[in-house]
Structure 1
Amino acid sequence: MPSRPSPRRPAPPSPATAPGTSAALTELPVVACKLYRADGRQRTVSRSDADLDAALETARADGGFVWIGLRGTSARDLERLAVTFRLPALAVEDAINAHQRPKFEQYPDLTFAVLKPVRYVDHDEVVDVSEVAVFVGAHFVITVRHGESSVVADVRAELDAPELDPADLAGLGLDDTDVDLDVPLPPGPHAPSPASVLYRLLDHVVDGYGAVVEDIAVDVEDIEEQVFSGGEDEHAERIYKLKREVLEFRRAVVPLVNPLQRLVDGGPTGPSATAVAEEKRPYYRDVLDHLLRAADAIDGYDRLLTDVLQAHLTQVSVRQNRASARQNEDMRKISAWAAIALVPTAIAGIYGMNFEHMPELSTRYGYFVVLAVIVSACVSLYVVFRAKKWL
């Protein structure tokens, strides 16, 4: 199993986190911080000339949002952000400590989500599960990543480099090198917004589930073929390992179904602006459909692996029974031949004793009589054992 981030308890607040104190970007483990404006313009927030308060005020004034990406965040780091962005204490604790269940939680001013990106390490047949905690407010997005995952970077790349038709760029007097300039760009169906960031993250995570399902399917089919190929190799350890990884995969996928279903059916409402608009529901329903298919596939592979393991154990038991039956048959044959050999051995042993008065010693045909008795007894025993199928 791959190493998972160990849970850490929040550290006591430091003096720097007192109310009204702003956290400078240079003091935080920020992977990226960027300002996205409502008109489509975007700008990287400089760590040297801006703090979080200034970035947030700019976003509010322009009707846009700030996206701050964090990795390896400590309790003290996130508490600094909690002061500036008024993050709920319980959500902050969940974001700091890994091993949370996938979920969506609605607070008065924001939405908190925990997503579980996964990837399949094929050569080790291991499902590597990471974790992304997402705070979505009206004018900000904060992502806290635990483990190795490219989901956040991929979504950020999509927003930073929107796919625009060259003709549209030419009509604006731009080329494909100008997308990061402080100029307005035509809004698309998924214009940057806190809600769209959450949707894109969710979409990428669920697409990753589909890729992992396909990779697991290959290994499950391979082990199934090996078990029923008639060979006598041991497969129980590999099957059990695959079942354990499927269970780990299930823990990342299945708990997300109900929260996403509620999001599609009703959707959260409030200042966090993460409610699912009616025109956006088909997109979320598509994500939900992919998620349900992944969950169904996981259940199917889990049952299939259970059946394959049972079949393999049955085959092992049958082989053991066959070996035991062969051993019993060999023992019967050995016992039968030993019983036949016992007759001449016993008679020869008796006549080998040095006594003067022995039966038939003075008889002319005594030797032949004894041989006839030995042969008759051995033939009789052979016939009896043959009838009983011991020979």
Structure 2
Amino acid sequence: MDVLQSMTESFAVDYADARRKFAAAVKAHGGRMRSYANPNRGPRGEELATDTAWFGAEDAPTVMVAISGTHGAEGFCGSGCQVDWLASGALASVPAGVAVLLVHAINPHGFAWIRRVTEEGCDLNRNYIDFTQPLPENPGYDELADAYIPADLSGPVFEAAEARVRAYRETHGVHAASVARSGGQYRHAGGLFYGGSGPTWSRRTIEAIAADEKLADRRLVAVVDYHTGLGPYGYGELICDHTVDSINVRRAKEWWGESVTEPQLGTSSSVAKHGLGEIGWERMLGDRVSFIALEYGTFTPESGRIALRDDHWLHNRGPFDWDAAETQRIKAALRRQFYPDTDEWREMVLWRSRMVMRQGIEALARS
């Protein structure tokens, strides 16, 4: 299937549709599936699960892993890319000795409810810390916690909160403001970029998947984690947050080239953060894994802040009507922020995804 056809057929309208498309594509191409049932339900009562598909020899020494839905609503993009990769015919050219593992909707609750966070209210990509150690501090977030998610979305309380957020950015600069808001925080449940108080269901599930597929026994593993929301519209940035100058990051640059960026060196659209997926994968596989986040740009950080603020405000109030106009307004804005759903954006996304998957597979074959 060519990109122009795929950009209209591979992407889904909601989580349930994405799951159906993924299962159908895997079946059509002879993959082995596993399902990890989530104990919750979607907004229409639909079943939630993380599904995986394995292609290649069971004992393959190297494995290419592609993950969608780490940040829930970003799963529209990642799921579409996974379905497209199968539809493109790329599977036929995967060399012997390389297996491919697709992990679909690792955060199915967030995907179904159009949230960035898990059912625990956690940002999964801040949840991979060692919870037996002292939790990271984020004094900037502590200062602004009640301003980031005010009690009201209009009126004096709201205006005062917005003024505090602007004042912090003007006083401390854009970079410090970004670290404070998005670097990860572990004190304010229900807040933005909350890393949690323990491993989430999604983190435990990715660890179970790695164990079930015996990834620790492989010689090399490459991981591509699909994300959206940072950087220029439609561009897929390859973000690597392994320890600076480690074999993990050096290998990532060898495999994917000079476009790989490092937040810890200030070369990325992202800032350095706590509890990222790289840390979890290093804990599981040590120096045998190289992990990148394929981050597609959408709209401005400010529009992202507003979309996340409103969604957290909605869920923090307690039970709400999914079909209410206010709910649907908030969900539509968050969906658009992380999935623009336009032909030009989807076409850009698929070209880059195919390139990155091909690079990773070819690198594993020669390593």
**Do both proteins adopt the same fold according to a TM-score greater than 0.5, normalized to the shorter chain?**
no
Q: Which has the higher helix share?
A: 1
TM-score (normalizing by structure 2) = 0.24
TM-score (normalizing by structure 1) = 0.23
Pick 1 or 2: higher relative contact order, CA cutoff 8 A, min separation 6. 2
